[in-house]
Amino acid sequence: MTDDLSGAATQPSEEPVAFDLKGGVAGARRALPIALSVCAYGLVFGVLAQQARLSLLEVLLMSGLVYAGSAQLIVLSLWAMPLPIAAILLTTLIVNLRNLLLGAAISPWFSRLPPLKAYTSIFFLADENWALTMGEFAQGKRNAAFLLGSGLVLYVAWVGSTVVGRTLGDVVHDPARFGLDFAFTAVFLSLLVGLWKGKSDLLPWVVAAIVAVAAAHVLPGKWYILLGGLAGSVAGVVRHAD
Amino acid sequence: MQTSLLALLTIFGMALVTYLTRMSGLWLMSHMTLSTRMKAWLGYLPGTVIVAIVAPTVFSTGLAEAGAALATVLVMARTRHVLLAMIVGVGVVWGLRMLLATLR
């Protein structure tokens, strides 16, 4: 039975889930180094948005209301007059579909919160602060405000840096020049080390990696995250059923 | 560059679509009774999603990324310090890219 639950070790016990300032501040502090790298990308987005002829107000509203880096970047390539609205909305949906998985994974904790707190916090859900929060939960910490606190820091970094990038124009260089593009990967890898629970994770993780690499080769955008994550987690469940 | 009404409506549409993708996973899971199998699936999700996020960068970009990934994981496993692991990863990828560029 213990082995059967190995995959479910990150599930919460019956204890209540906290949501307070302490958790929010802890999340904000953990997000600070990642905010630097978010800023680098925000500047790049701002510069590209200027080239795509978005106004400053449009950049501010898009970053502030949509708040989804990869979707916004891909939409820039579609941004031409007359606006292909249907294509833009469909692209946004497809690029962001992976949020469904993130929301499902975080639901055992967030479904215990009052709806206002849960559905306000979830606006700030992004790959980076979701992963940080799951790392916290995996260590047995149960303060759901961690997602909101870390999310707010990344939100301010994103909105601020995209607006600065749009204003400054092309003064920013390629983040890859300083290895900054690798910062996200490094953070995700560190979190993986903390999430490793033993041999039972091997098969699902290998399946996720193979499917993601293959999908990234043949499909555009972020499909590889959705497909790899689904294939790996389903492989884990199927193996248990045997 | 003037802000057009159509552009604003498009941005509001993007915002709505994005928020729906963020809230649906939580909403669906909160309104279902979860079987043991569903719970096991949720338990596997965080690890497999993160593996899927990093796998293309780590395994099919190049030697610099693969080497930096290895360094990051080793530092994290030894020290359990996320910030240190991140700094080492970024430093190693930067160094290896320069090295590989000069060798070419």
* Residue B63 forms contact with A (CB below 8 Å): no
Q: Taking CB atoms and an 8 Å limit, are B90 and A183 in contact across chains?
A: yes
Q: Considering chain A, what is the average pLDDT of its residues?
A: 88
A186 touches chain B (CB under 8 A): yes
Query: What does pTM read for this prediction?
Result: 0.81
The answer to whether the beta carbons of residues A167 and A192 sit under 8 Å apart is no
User: Could you state, in chain order, the average pLDDT of each consecutive group of 10 residues for chain A (242 residues)?
Assistant: 41 77 95 89 85 92 95 86 90 89 94 95 96 92 96 98 87 66 86 88 97 94 88 93 68
Shortest CB distance from A61 goes to which of B11, B42, B65? B11
Q: How far apart are the first and last CA of chain B?
A: 44
Within chain B, how many helices (H) and strands (E) appear?
4, 0
Q: Is residue A114 exposed (0-12), middle (13-18) or buried (19+ Cβ within 10 Å)?
A: exposed
Tell whether A70 lies on the interface with B, counting CB pairs under 8 A. no
Q: ipTM score here?
A: 0.86
Distance CA A208, CA A225 (A): 9
Q: What is the pLDDT along chain B (104 residues), one digit of tens a residue?
A: 567 899 999 999 999 999 999 999 999 999 988 788 888 898 898 899 999 999 999 999 999 999 999 999 999 999 988 788 988 999 999 999 999 999 87
pLDDT of residue A5: 39
Q: State whether residue B85 sits within 8 Å of chain A by CB.
A: yes
Nearest to A189 among B10, B39, B72 (CB): B72
Which H or E run contains A152?
A: helix A145-168
pLDDT at A13: 59
Question: A42 and chain B: CB distance < 8 Å anywhere?
Answer: no
pLDDT digits (tens, 9 = 90+) for A176-215: 667 777 888 888 898 899 889 899 999 999 999 999 999 9
pLDDT score recorded for residue B2: 64
Asked whether the beta carbons of A145 and A25 are under 8 A apart, the reply is no
With CB atoms and an 8 Å threshold, state whether A103 touches B23. Answer: yes
φ, ψ for residue A66 (rounded to 5)?
-85, -50
Q: Quick one: pLDDT at residue A7?
A: 42
CB B7 within 8 A of CB A69: no
Q: Could you tell me if A144 and B58 are in contact, meaning their C-beta atoms sit under 8 angstroms apart?
A: no
Cα-based torsion angle of the residue sequence B59, A127, B48, A98 in order, rounded to the nearest 10 degrees: -100
What the block records as the tokens of A23 is 């958790």
